Amino acid sequence: MGQHGGTLHLKGGCHCGNVRFRFVCAEPIAGLPPRACGCAFCTKHGGRWTSDPGGALHLYASDSGAVNKYRFGHGTADFIVCGNCGAVTAAVSDIDAKLYAVVNVNCLDDPASFSEPSAAVDYEGEERAGRLDRRKERWIGEVTVDF
């Protein structure tokens, strides 16, 4: 983790190191409170999600053949799951030909930097259009995926 020129640079990845990410934030950590989604998938995987709409995310892998994308519910996001160790590092949504994403705070190289408790969120009753609008507003708006 590092602070450079007003931006925060965070690194993270899965347990085995196959799936990695670099997350550049315009906001300080205090402005990026983690969210704990109450859906069954996020609960079972212990997901604590954060995002910065003014930030940038680069997802990459050593072995792209060992990266799985899992969709459920409305089918509007790919949850990035390492096929080797099973860690869920991020979720990516393609909206109007643009990628948006959130990262799992638990997959940061320094997850302790997000020490505040996660805010419980529940999106189960959200309609598809509202979900996509929320993501465009709140998720990371500059996303590159190299796998």
pLDDT band at 52 (very low <50, low <70, confident <90, very high): very high
Q: Which helix (H) or strand (E) holds 33?
A: none
How many of the other CB atoms lie within 10 Å of CB of 79? Answer: 20
Measure the CA angle with vertex 41, ends 38 and 43; round to 5°: 45
pLDDT at 131: 96
> What is d(CA 90, CA 19) in angstroms, rounded to the nearest whole number?
10
Domain 2-146, what architecture?
Answer: Beta Complex (2.170)
pLDDT for 64-76, tens place per residue? 999 999 999 889 9
Whole-prediction pTM value?
0.92
Domain boundaries, the chain: 2-146
pLDDT at 125: 86
* Residue scoring higher pLDDT (139 or 123): 139
Q: Hey, which bits of the chain come out as E strands?
A: 2-4, 7-13, 19-25, 35-37, 49-50, 56-61, 67-70, 78-82, 88-95, 98-104, 119-121, 142-146
**Res 133 pLDDT > 80:** yes
pLDDT at 7: 84
pLDDT for 66-121, tens place per residue? 999 999 988 999 999 999 999 999 999 999 999 999 999 999 999 888 888 899 99
pLDDT at 5: 53
